Each structure stands twice: as structure tokens, then as C-alpha cells.
Copies of this chain bind each other. A is one copy, B any other.
Amino acid sequence: MREQFVIGIDFGTESGRAVLVDVRSGKEVAHHVTPYRHGVISERLPESDVLLKPDAYLQHPDDYLEVLETSVPSVLQQAGIKPESVVGLGIDFTSSTMVPVDRQLVPLCRKPEWNRHPHAWVKLWKHHGPKAEAEKIDRIAKERGEPWLSRYGGKVSSEWMIPKCLEILGEAPEVYHAADLFLEAADWVVALMTGEVKRNLCAAGFKSFWSKSDGYPSEDFFAALDPRFADITRTKLRGEICPVGERAGRLTPAMAERMGLRPGLPVAVGIVDAHASVLGAGAVDPGEMLLVMGTSTCHMLISDEEYEVEGISGVVEDGILPGMYAYEAGQPAVGDLFAWFIKQGVPEYVQREAQSEGMTVFQWLEQRAAQLRPGESGLLALDWFNGNRSILDDAHLSGLIIGYTLGTRPEEIFRALMEATAFGTRMIIDAYRASGLGVNQLVACGGLPQSNQLLMQIYADVTGMEIAVVSSKHTSAVGAAILGSVAAGSAEGGYDSIPEAVRRLACPRVKKFQPIPEQEKVYQRLFREYKILHDYFGRGGNDVMKRLKQIREEAGFSASGDHR
């Protein structure tokens, strides 16, 4: 039998990566990463003197095309296969990363008349410009008793699509009017490849308030935000919303040429990156929670029932698997928190000792921290260095470390920060459970779990649950490839359903971490303390964190400076 392959492409924050997967064995045959030439644009527009506001995080759409044209040919070449051996292609993307385009799907920022206008550019997911807009949406939705709000844990994030659109309307009505569509970048790339605009249900559900049962919120609601905004879902957001796993279309000859693939190749509807990981990790059984752990952590869960969970990012019917509800929660600073500490908090002697022992600072800290017993540092931290995303859903919260003595050492702080992120995850698990959802198995993927055994052991001890770690470093891309195989269908060498494709292609799990009972016991005590602090500082017992941010802003310092 002829070998056949699928391609999955993961568009991340700093780069895009393609994987080539053997469609029978599920083996990852090749992968290639293309860093975005323009990276994250946060100070000035490319090749211009136009300065950006502190909260702006933009991207250059050409960078996405470069991934298609570079990484795709590369994986084929690495594997030494012909374009004909590829049976399908899928992509996943950060979200809500949005592209304002004209009638020909040309991003406005690529047009001479708009390219010096920040609002014409791609807004990256972490663009935090529309904070006020998100708060307005929140407030008006609450006033009106909008039923969809509860699906998002009762709070709207400035990272989502609708606030971004509203920001453009308010700050740059001329851009708003010039745009024919606002597209998720995933949907724009798929449209480029296939010539068809198909909005992916996953992003529409998680980032645009759309649901299978109710569609978008009413025009009345949008009109209450701004009369000019009333028709947005019929105008700028129009377009078919397609379930994950469908075929968006087939590769156009022009794009096939540019990507080194065959014309007519089935291309899947897009999906959000963390959500693709659920498929790539095969974490599709009810009760299996996937931790996508990188700079931040997403907590993904699939269930056949809909529950209201406190402070989650969202629940979307068919969001990942047809016929199932997909839940998302998150912690905004995990790997980022450790990176902050290594950059800003680790003394020179540690660097020196690590070097002389042939280790990275991270390894040195991990090794020393691993020698500590739970509770031995005497430290406890709240992991809100970038706010709290789930449960409290409050960007104005901040980090805390308690228990310092004159004997406190860096490896103790490092361990306390790791533990804090584990306690944060435990809070989310408890919230899922409190709502009625079962959580009985943890699966971890992303950059952190494979390289940090101590972290995984702490998570097992803190949650009291086994954690399985996924082998691949490209779980999202494999998830996208899975959707590519379903877009092909068995008739063209793929699979006819997502569950079947997941069974065949999902990444294996290599390591398992079991809770150690005596450590679990100490962490139960520490978690009780974490919870008391969590509620005191997070639920209004003492709003000092907010007041400190307020005082700070009045001192002339933009709080958004954090994100730099």
C-alpha cells in the first residue's frame, strides 16, 4: 500500500510550524518551524514611524503565508515524499487573532491607503486595546440579562473578537467601514488556500458569542453597544459557520503552487490552537482534562452535557468534537512566570554555579528545588502575576509571595511559584467538579511538561491525580492534521470521523506521574492556605491588589506596561 500523509499547521504567537503525519501509523514523519519575520508588533508599525499604544499587539499577515510557503515544502522534502502522497491538510491558530480584509480578502494593512493605520493590521490574540470595550460589553450584557454570558463564566475578555471589532468601530470608524469582513486569522488562511470563507465554529463559539442553538446575540444587544454596531453579524462577521472536522474546500491551483502541494487537496475548517491540542493529545474521553502548558496554561475538557462553570473562558457545543460540549479555562502566566523569575529574580551566584556545573539556570533551580520537601520552603504564592483568567476572571489581580525569611533562597521561591501554578490548576479542577463535571484523569502537553519532571510531580501531588504527559512537542499541529485527515475522508485516504482519526493519529503518552501520598497530604494543607488567600484577595475580602494598580496608574505608569 502506498504511504499516505496528512499535514497539520499550527500558527502560534511567534512562529508557525508544520508537521507531516503518516495517516496509517500516526507517526510524525517531519516537522518544520518558520519564525514570523515580524514577530509580535508592539512598538511601531513595520517600516514606518507609526508608534503603537502600550496595549497594542499586532501581526503581519505575510508572515502566515511565509509559513505556508516554507514549512510545508520543507516537511515534504525532509520526508522525501511527493505532493500526491498528502491526502489532507488542517490548520490551527491563536485566537482571537483577527484580520480586517477587503472584498478580495486582502488584509487592509497590505493596502497603501491603510498600511499606516494600526487598526488596519492583524490584532493578535493578546492585543489588549479593547479593555474598556470588553467591560462595556460585560456591563450591558449583564444589564440586559443576555443568556449567552453564562457560557463564558459571566465575563468577557478583551482578547475576544467582538471587543476587538468594537474597538475599531470606536477608534477608527473609517477602518471599520473600509473592512468588508473581520476574519479569524485561521479562517482567513483557510479562505486563502481554498477560495472559500468558512468560519470555524470553535473560534465563533469561544471568541464571538456564537452558539449552535442560539446563533449570535441579538441585533438589539449589538445596537445597545453602539447603534452602528447593530448589524455586525450580518455584515462584518457574516459567513457560514462550519463545524470542526468539515472540509472547508480544496486547495486552489495558485496556492498549491506556492505551497508545493497538489491542487484539489482537501483542507479542513480551522480550529483554535489549544483546542486542536485536545485532538492531538487524544484527550477526548469524558473526565479527561487536558493541560496545555506553555507560557500560559489552558485547561480543556470535553463532556456530553452542558454545565455552568464559575469563571471559565467558555463552553461551546461542538466546539471540538461534534455532539459534545467543549470547555476551556486558563491561567495566563505559567511558563511566563518561571521565565520572569529566571530573568528578574535569580542571583548571580546561581548563574555562576549553574555554569560551573554545566547546567542551565532552569536546570540548576529545578535540581535544587527537587531536593526540597513540600512545605519546606515555608513560602506560598499566588500565581496572578498576569492576573487571574479563570474562576476570578480578573486582570487587575497581581502576584503575591508570603513566608519570606532572611534565609529564603532562590530555589525555594522557584518551587513556590511552580506550586502556585499547580494550586491555580487545582482551583479550576475544583470549579469544574463543583459544577457537576467529572475530572478524573489529567493529560499534559505543551513545552513545559516534557522538560520539567518536578513540575509534573508537583501537579500530581497537588491535584491528587495521575498525570500523563504527551510525547509530541507539536500536539496542536497533530490536532490540525487530524482534522485534515477527516476533511479527506476515507474515500480519499483519511478518516470519516474525528473520533476515529483521533484513535489512529493522536500522539502517544510517554510518561505518567503518580501522586505520592505523603506529599499529597502536605499539599492539601498548603492548598487550604492558598484558597484562603485566593478568596481574601480575589473575592473582595481585601481589594488591595486593585488599589495598588490604581495608585500605580495614577503615579503615571500605564498598567499595561506589564505585558512588555
Contact = CB atoms under 8 A, between A and B. Distances in A.
How many subunits of this chain does the assembly comprise?
Answer: 2
Interface stretch (A105-113, A152-160, A402-410): A402-410
Nearest to A333: B406
A375 B409 CA distance: 27
Contacts of A58: none
Contacts of A399: 402-405, 408
**What band does the interface of chain A fall in when counting residues whose beta carbon is under 8 Å from B?**
35 or more
Contacts of A556: 373, 376
A394 interface: no
Interface string A541-558: 010110111011011110
A389 B343 CA distance: 34
Contacts of A526: 551
A190 B377 CA distance: 44
Contact of A548 (B380, B545, B549): B380
B347 A548 contact: no
Contacts of A407: 561-564
A385 interface: yes
A74 interface: no
A374 B564 CA distance: 21
A419 B348 CA distance: 25
Interface string A130-156: 000000000000000000000000000
Contacts of A336: 406
B375 A555 contact: yes
Given A544-B529, A547-B529, A549-B378, A555 B404 contact: no
Interface in A387-411: 398-410
A337 B408 CA distance: 11
A532 B542 contact: yes
Pick the most buried of A343, A378, A559: most chain B CB atoms within 10 A of its CB.
Answer: A378
Interface string A513-537: 0000000001001100100110011
A451 interface: no
A537 B402 CA distance: 10
A178 to B, nearest CB: 35
Given A399-B403, A525-B551, A408 B375 contact: no
A403 B344 CA distance: 15
B406 A400 contact: no
Given A376-B555, A404-B385, A555-B373, A343 B333 contact: no
Interface in A226-276: none
A351 interface: yes
A444 interface: no
A406 B334 CA distance: 11
23 contacts: A340-B408, A344-B408, A345-B347, A348-B348, A373-B556, A375-B555, A377-B552, A378-B551, A378-B559, A385-B405, A385-B408, A400-B402, A401-B404, A402-B548, A403-B552, A407-B564, A522-B551, A522-B555, A525-B547, A525-B551, A529-B548, A532-B542, A536-B542
> Sorted from nearest, which 6 A-B pairs have the closest CB atoms?
A399-B404, A378-B552, A375-B551, A376-B555, A405-B562, A407-B562
Given A378-B557, A536-B536, 15 more contacts: A344-B410, A373-B556, A375-B551, A375-B552, A375-B555, A380-B544, A402-B537, A402-B544, A402-B545, A403-B545, A403-B548, A406-B563, A407-B561, A522-B554, A532-B544
Interface of A: 333, 336-337, 340, 343-348, 351, 373-380, 385-386, 398-410, 522, 525-526, 529, 532-533, 536-537, 542, 544-545, 547-549, 551-552, 554-557, 559, 561-564
